[in-house]
Amino acid sequence: MGDRVAARLDGRIGLLSNANLSPWINWTTLAPPLFREIARLTDSVEIAPPPLSIGRIGGLAGAMRRAWSVKHMFQFQASSKPELPLLAISAMRGFVQRSAFVVDPWRPQLGKISIGARLQRLDHIFIPYIEAWSELSRDGEDERYHWLPFGVDTTVFDSHAPERDIDIYWMGRRYEPLHRALLDISEQTGLKYAYTGKVAMFDNPMELGHFVSRCRYFVVTPPDLDNPERTGGFSPLVMRYLEGLAAGCRLLGVLPKSGAFERLLPRNAILEVAPDGSDLAEKLAADIADPAGWDATMLAARLVRDRHGWAARARTIVDVLARG
C-alpha cells in the first residue's frame, strides 16, 4: 500500500493555505507536508490570501487570480471555524469542486460542522476521528464524509538523533495523575523524564522532531482523559500516537477508546498503563527488561512511516477527488 499510485485528477487543485495568517506551530506539521505531497501527485497551486483588510487588496487579488486557475479546492479547517480569508476566496470562486479536512471535529461542534459543510458547498469532507465520521456520515450513509486519520510528517518525525539519551518524554497537554506518577518514578529510579507544556518552545518543526528522536518512551493519552467536556466523550486516535512511532519511540500510556488504534496499528506497539499510573513502576520495569516490546515498536514505526505519513493520506485525497 505504501507505494500505491494515486488516481489522475482532472484539472488543477487549489490548496487553500493559512500561511499568511500566522498559523501556530502545530499547523506546520499538518498543511505544509500534506500540500507538498499532493503537489507531487497532481497539478496544484497554493493559494495563501492575506488577512482581510483594505491595505491587503493586492494580495487578495493575487490569491483570487490563482483561484480562477483551478477546478478543485482543498483546505484544512479548524473544527467548525474556517478562516475567513480562505472562506472568502472559496466563495468568490463560484462553481468548483470543494473539499476540506476538518481538524478536531469534537462532538459539541458536529452540528456546526454539518451546517458549515452545506453552506460552503463542500463535496468531500475528510474527518480524522472515527466517532465523528460515524455521526456525521450516519455510519457511511452520507458519502460526502470520509474517515481519514491524521497523517504524520515523516521528514520531521524520524530517527534523527544518534542516541536516545532521554528515557521518557511527554509533549503538550498532560493528564496530571499519570504525570505525577512519572515524576515519582523518575525521582526514585533516576530515569530522565522530560516534558514540555507547549511545542511552541521549539523554534521550528525539525528542532521538535530531532528532540523527540532522542527519546526512548513517548507518552500518549487520548484527549478525553484530561478534557472530556471539550471532546464530548470522543476518545480518538490523535497525531501524537503516530508522531511518537514515526520517530522510533516506544509509546507509553493509554489507548483511545474509539478502537481506531487497533484498526490501524499493532496493539503491542504501546506499553499500556493505568491512567493514574498505579501500575507504572511494575509495567515499566518489565518492559525495559523485555526486548519484545521494542521489536514490536520497530515494526510499528516502519508501518507508520509507510502507510500513515502524509504521502499516503495525499494519495487517498486525490483518489477521492478524482472520482468526482
Give the CATH number of the domain where residue 292 resides.
3.40.50.2000
What does the block give as the cell for 172? 503538550
pLDDT in tens, 229-263: 999 999 999 999 999 999 999 999 999 999 999 99
24 and 113 in a single domain? The answer is yes
Q: Is residue 159 part of a domain?
A: no
Polymer length in residues for the chain: 324
Q: What is the CA radius of gyration of the chain?
A: 21
170 and 132 in a single domain? The answer is no
119 and 239 in a single domain? The answer is no
Instruction: Give me the number of domains the chain comprises.
Output: 2
d(CA 103, CA 273): 28
Give this prediction's pTM. 0.93
170 and 231 in a single domain? The answer is yes
Q: Is residue 4 part of a domain?
A: no
β partners of residue 253: 220, 272
CA 8 to chain centre: 25
Mean pLDDT score of the chain:
93
pLDDT in tens, 6-50: 567 889 999 999 999 988 766 888 999 999 999 999 999 999 999
What does the block give as the cell for 184? 515519582
d(CA 167, CA 192): 5
143 and 195 in a single domain? The answer is no
Q: What pLDDT band is residue 200 in, cutting at 50, 70 and 90? A: low
Residue 195 scores a pLDDT above 50: yes
Q: What are the strands of the beta sheet with 193-196, ordered from one edge? A: 193-196, 166-171, 215-220, 250-253, 270-272
β partners of residue 171: 196
Q: Could you report how far apart the first and last alpha carbons of the chain are, in Å?
A: 22
Q: Is residue 158 part of a domain?
A: no
CATH no. for residue 57? 3.40.50
Which residues constitute the domain of residue 251?
166-307
How many Cα atoms occupy the beta-carbon half-sphere of 142 within 13 Å? Answer: 19
301 and 314 in a single domain? The answer is no
Alpha helix locations (H) across the chain? 31-41, 57-67, 84-93, 110-119, 130-137, 176-189, 205-212, 228-231, 239-246, 260-264, 280-288, 291-307, 310-322
Q: Judge whether 276 and 192 are in contact, CB under 8 Å.
A: no
d(CA 45, CA 60): 15
Residue 1 scores a pLDDT above 50: no
d(CA 240, CA 252): 11
96 and 196 in a single domain? The answer is no
How large a percentage of the chain has pLDDT more than 70? 96
- What pLDDT is attached to residue 2? 44
- What pLDDT is attached to residue 198? 60
Residue 196 scores a pLDDT above 60: yes
pLDDT in tens, 123-181: 999 999 999 999 999 999 999 999 999 999 999 999 888 899 999 999 988 999 999 99
Taking residues 288-302, report their average pLDDT.
95
How many Cα atoms occupy the beta-carbon half-sphere of 20 within 13 Å? Answer: 16
Q: How many CB atoms lie within 10 A of CB 121?
A: 12
Q: Is residue 121 part of a domain?
A: yes
Q: Is residue 279 part of a domain?
A: yes
198 and 244 in a single domain? The answer is yes
189 and 286 in a single domain? The answer is yes
> What's the burial of 203, exposed, middle or buried (CB within 10 Å: 0-12/13-18/19+)?
exposed
Residue 306 scores a pLDDT above 50: yes
What single DSSP character describes residue 202? S
Q: What pLDDT band is residue 5 in, cutting at 50, 70 and 90? A: low
195 and 79 in a single domain? The answer is no
199 and 253 in a single domain? The answer is yes
What does the block give as the cell for 126? 475528510
Q: Is residue 298 part of a domain?
A: yes
Q: Is residue 18 part of a domain?
A: yes
Q: Judge whether 230 and 107 are in contact, CB under 8 Å.
A: no
- What pLDDT is attached to residue 258? 97
46 and 73 in a single domain? The answer is yes
d(CA 24, CA 39): 23
What does the block give as the cell for 59? 494580495
pLDDT in tens, 76-97: 999 888 899 999 999 999 899 9
Amino acid identity of residue 18, one-letter, is: N
Q: Is residue 264 part of a domain?
A: yes
Give 65's contacts (C-beta < 8 A, 6+ positions apart). Answer: none
